[in-house]
Amino acid sequence: MLNIENLHVSVGDKPILKGINLQIKPGEIHAIMGPNGSGKSTLSHVLSGKSGYTVTEGTVTYDGKDLTEMAPEVRAREGVFLAFQYPVEIPGVSNIYLLKAALNAIRKHQGLSEVDAMDFLMLVKDKVRLLEMDEKFLYRAVNEGFSGGEKKRNEILQMAILEPRLCIMDETDSGLDIDALKIVSEGVNSLRSPERSFVMVTHYQRLLDYIKPDFVHVLAHGQIVKSGGADLALELEEKGYSWVENKQAAA
Amino acid sequence: MNTVIKSRYSAEYSKVESALPGRSAPWLVALRAGALDKFSGNGFPSIREEEWRYTNVSGIEKNLFVPTDQPSSATVDKEWLDRFKLPDCWSFVLVDGYFSAELSQLDGLPEGLVVQSLAKTLDTDAEQVKPYFAHAVSDDEHSFVAFNTAWFCDGLFLKVSKKLALTKPVQLLHVTTQQERLSTTRTVIVVEPMAEAQVIETYIGVEQAYLSAAVTEVFVEANANLTLYKVQCESAKAYHFGGTYVKQARDARFIHHNFAFGGLLARSDIHCDLDNASECDLNGLYLGNQRQHLDNHTRINHLQPNAVSREMYKGVLAGRSRGVFQGRVVVAENAQKTDSQMNNRNLLLSDDAEADTKPQLEIYADDVKCSHGVTVGQLDEKSVFYLQSRCVDEETARNMLTFAFANEMVNKLTIKSLHDLVLTQVLERFPQQGISIDWL
Ligand SMILES: Nc1ncnc2c1ncn2[C@@H]1O[C@H](COP(=O)(O)OP(=O)(O)OP(=O)(O)O)[C@@H](O)[C@H]1O
Ligand SMILES: [Mg+2]
């Protein structure tokens, strides 16, 4: 589904990603861990098409198509979804309006007609219940005045409604309290399917206890320095990043 | 007169003088004469004056707009007028500066509400107006006020008597129907103690060059409540000057919503004098396009202790338009416990658009809470990307954000028909791709 080969990315003159290789097949869950500033969010942003980054080398293909050639909204309509590490507040645009605009844009892209108002409301309310949110959040401006945890949960609400095929979650767990983490994780688990893949950026094992990854990658200094199964995360928790970083330096 | 006459308009005065209302009230005749002197000596304001440094009104002098000599409602396109007439209000219409009984709704007013032609009031019972006229603003304020005092041909006198709470808003609809017209109106609004009212001033005109010069004097008496709206949708070729001068007695509450949409050059002055524990809340939205110049000038005088003032003005400027915000808050020495907040936010949609913003705080008391903030900026690129990442194309994302920025001010309107009118105006003025009216 997603194929990243030797991806090099710079911001201005500053190289940040320095040769990332990553293959993600349908249905897989990949966790990406790594120290602060290693390039995890940069990778997420590049995949979703944020401007300001230059791909200096390498390729990113999604369903066989060159992802880097697509406008951000086209990627989103094609099923790439980024749950932001820092969701943006949009005063004056209500959550439900944005959800409707987004869903209709996807449907149009797929050659379908606009969503029926009743069906839409039912779908949205269903997902609001899934994530145990208050319906009032639907009518509030997108993320405006939301607490840190509420913003994260709102990202997953959008994800649940838009049903993307590639879900990139950038530190969705940071900021969630213990109960919220459980609810959100269950929400994510309910979205799992053989066609849908997940990339979860996280610093904590806790999330991976709820959502068990198929692969764990360690990103350091712009490169994936180690990959393994779910056990790798446990090992990291115990030994810290210096363990893999040192191994890398020694190699 | 031994001063040099600074305006071409002064020479025209003798042509209109005899037809002006209030000739039988000596106090008004004297006021008019003094105002004419002041105006002739100064001419229209110049950019050398601090309060006018961003706004050049010399076009008014070049054009020489003239008042109509035969007011007629027959020329008004009714269909067009109806688009601006609010169905759930008592509506009063002024055509080219003259009250039109024919187009106004005179029936069904509750006892205690007076709304009538100012000219007629002056000619029949000038004493009724005397305690108010020129009491909220003096002709020394600036030349437009002096000009208005000398030239006004009509306007409205609106009085809500003590304790009366109006069940419907009153709409004052100013219409200019011909090119090169000069519509000079004076309006006096009195809300007596403990009364409550909502008044909507609407300004429209045909797509021609004309000058609409209005002064509104407002008295919100003790414990009274007034919400005043100004919806300025003049033609894109017109000049508009509108001054709203408000005197608030103790515990009086005044809310103002100022929508500046039309005019080639439009200026609004809003002044509030605050007595003990009174409150004012000034909201503004100016939308500039093409070569429009929209100037908003506010002054809040905290004259006595414990008063509260709030101010939020927003501007959206596209094309080569220019928006000006000058907001001044003056806190007198004895106005302790003053609580004042002023905000001005500008959104520039093009490289050629310009916003000049100048908040001024003058504080002479020591125990006060005063703040102000201004911003001038473009759309936030992070927000644009966030919306794109949610499937919205870039152009629609920008439209959504622009509209959302402006809509914050529109959403404060609680009168349904007014809300819809203003919303329609906002949508007409900006690219609306992707924006649906059922904004939730
Ligand atoms: N616009 C930018 N300009 C300059 N440097 C940038 C820019 N964006 C990212 N960087 C730098 O790139 C590096 C990687 O940043 P990134 O946000 O991807 O890290 P991260 O792995 O997500 O970190 P964290 O775990 O703290 O979220 C950092 O050193 C950061 O300062
Ligand atoms: Mg990050």
Q: Is the CB of A39 under 6 A from ligand 1?
A: yes
pLDDT confidence of residue B436: 67
pLDDT at residue A248, rounded to an integer:
60
Instruction: Give me the amino acid identity at B324.
Output: V
Chain-centre distance for alpha carbon B373: 23
- Whether B390 and A98 lie within 8 Å, measured CB to CB: yes
For ligand 1, say whether the CB of A202 is within 6 Å of any of its atoms.
Answer: no
The torsion angles phi and psi of A162, rounded to 5 degrees, stand at -85, -15
> Which chain A residues touch B381 with a CB distance below 8 Å?
51
What is residue A36's three-state secondary structure? Answer: coil
Q: Can you read off the two tokens belonging to residue B361?
A: 């705080």
A contacts of B404 (beta carbons < 8 Å): 90-93, 141
Atom of ligand 1 nearest to the CA of A222: 14
Q: How far is the CA of A31 from the centre of ligand 2 (A)?
A: 13
Q: Which residue has the tokens 């390729």?
A: A59
Q: What is the pLDDT of residue B437?
A: 63
Query: Could you tell me the distance, in angstroms and rounded to a whole number, from the CA of residue A58 to the centre of ligand 1?
Result: 20
- CB atoms within 5 A of ion ligand 2 belong to A 40-41, 85
Domain total in chain B? 1
Q: Round to whole Å and give the CA distance between B277 and B272.
A: 13
Q: Which domains does chain A have, with CATH numbers?
A: 2-250 (3.40.50.300)
DSSP B384-395: HHHHHTTT--HH
B393: in domain: yes
Q: Is A123 on the interface with B (CB under 8 A)?
A: no
Location of structure tokens 């992802």: A67
Q: What is the ipTM of this complex?
A: 0.95
Q: Taking chain B, what is the end-to-end CA distance rounded to the nearest angstrom?
A: 62
- Return the residue whose CA atom lies nearest to atom 25 of ligand 1: A36
Element (H, E) at B122: helix B118-129
What per-residue confidence (pLDDT) applies to B67? 86
Query: Is A79 in contact with A65 (CB distance < 8 Å)?
Result: no
Question: Structure tokens of A185?
Answer: 């994780």
pLDDT at site B440: 46
C-beta of A37 in contact with ligand 1 (< 6 A): yes
Here the tokens at position B45 are 């304001």
Give me the pLDDT at residue A249, please: 55
The total number of residues written for chain A in this structure: 251
| pLDDT at site B429 | 87
Q: Using N-to-C axis directions, what is the helix angle for A95-109 and A148-162, rounded to 10°? A: 30
Check CB contact under 8 Å for A98 and B381: no
Q: In this complex, is the C-beta atom of B312 within 8 Å of any C-beta atom belonging to chain A?
A: no
Separation between Cα atoms, residue A171 and residue A202, nearest integer Å: 5
Angle at the Cα of B52 (from B49 to B53), degrees rounded to 5?
80
Average pLDDT for chain A: 93
Q: Whose CA is nearest to atom 22 of ligand 1?
A: A41
Give the residue numbers spanning the domain of B426. 382-440
Residue range B222-237, pLDDT digits in tens: 999 999 999 999 999 9
Grouping H, G, I as helix, E, B as strand and the rest as coil, residue B376 is strand
Shortest Cα–Cα distance, A50 to chain B (Å): 6
Contact criterion met (CB < 8 Å) for B394 and A88 = no
B97 in Cβ contact with B69 (< 8 Å): no
pLDDT tens digits, A175-233: 899 999 999 999 899 999 999 999 999 999 889 999 999 999 999 999 999 999 988 88
* Mean pLDDT, range B415-429, rounded to an integer: 93
Residue with tokens 């705080």: B361
pLDDT above 90: residue A105: yes
Q: Is B273 contained in some domain?
A: no
CB of B440 less than 8 A from some CB of A: yes
- Using a 6 Å cutoff on CB, does residue A38 contact ligand 1? yes
Residue B422 included in any domain: yes
Stretch 227-246 of chain A: residues touching chain B, C-beta under 8 Å = none
* B434: nearest CA partner in chain A: A101
Rounded CA separation B32/B39 (Å): 10
Interface touch A98/B401, C-beta < 8 Å: no
Instruction: Output B433 or B72, whichever has higher pLDDT.
Output: B72
The tokens for A174 are 């940071």
Question: Is residue B324, in this structure, part of any structural domain at all?
Answer: no
Write down the pTM of the prediction: 0.90
pLDDT at A162 over 50: yes
pLDDT at B1: 46
Chain B window 376-415: which residues touch A at a Cβ cutoff of 8 Å?
Answer: 380-383, 385-394, 396-397, 400-401, 403-405, 407-408
Output the residue whose Cα is nearest ligand 1's atom 2: A11
* Chain B residue numbers touching A158 (CB-CB < 8 A): 390
3-state secondary structure of B90: strand
Q: Which residues of B touch A76 (CB under 8 A)?
A: 388-391
Instruction: Express each pLDDT in B286-328 by its tens digit.
Output: 999 999 999 999 999 999 999 999 999 999 999 999 999 999 9
Q: For ligand 1, is residue A11 a contact (CB within 6 Å)?
A: yes
The 3-state DSSP class for residue B352 equals: coil
> Using CA atoms, how far apart are residues B61 and B42, in angstroms rounded to an integer?
13
CA distance B409 to chain A (A): 10
Q: In this structure, is residue B134 part of a structural domain?
A: no
CA angle centred on A203, ends A199 and A206, rounded to 5°: 90
Residue at B439 is within a domain: yes
What's the A43 CA to ligand 1 centre distance in angstroms? 10
What mean pLDDT comes out for the span B156-184? Answer: 96
Closest CA to B254 of B298, B223, B284, B276: B223
Those residues with Cβ within 8 angstroms of residue A186's Cβ, 6 or more apart along the chain or in another chain: A210
Q: How confident is the model at residue A173 (pLDDT cuts 50, 70, 90)?
A: very high
pLDDT tens, position by position, A19-67: 999 999 999 999 999 999 999 999 999 999 999 999 999 999 999 999 9
A196 CA → ligand 2 middle, Å: 23
Nearest CA in chain B to A94: B440
Look at residue B35 in the predicted model and tell me its pLDDT.
Answer: 97
Task: Give dist(CA B44, CA B212) in Å, integer.
Answer: 14
Ligand lying nearest the CA atom of residue A16: 1
Ligand 1 atom nearest the C-alpha of A39 is 18
| A35 Cα nearest atom in ligand 1 | 25
- Residue A9, burial from CB neighbour count under 10 angstroms (0-12, 13-18, 19+): buried
For the stretch B93-129, pLDDT in tens is 999 999 999 999 888 899 999 999 999 999 999 999 9
Q: What is the CA radius of gyration of chain B?
A: 21
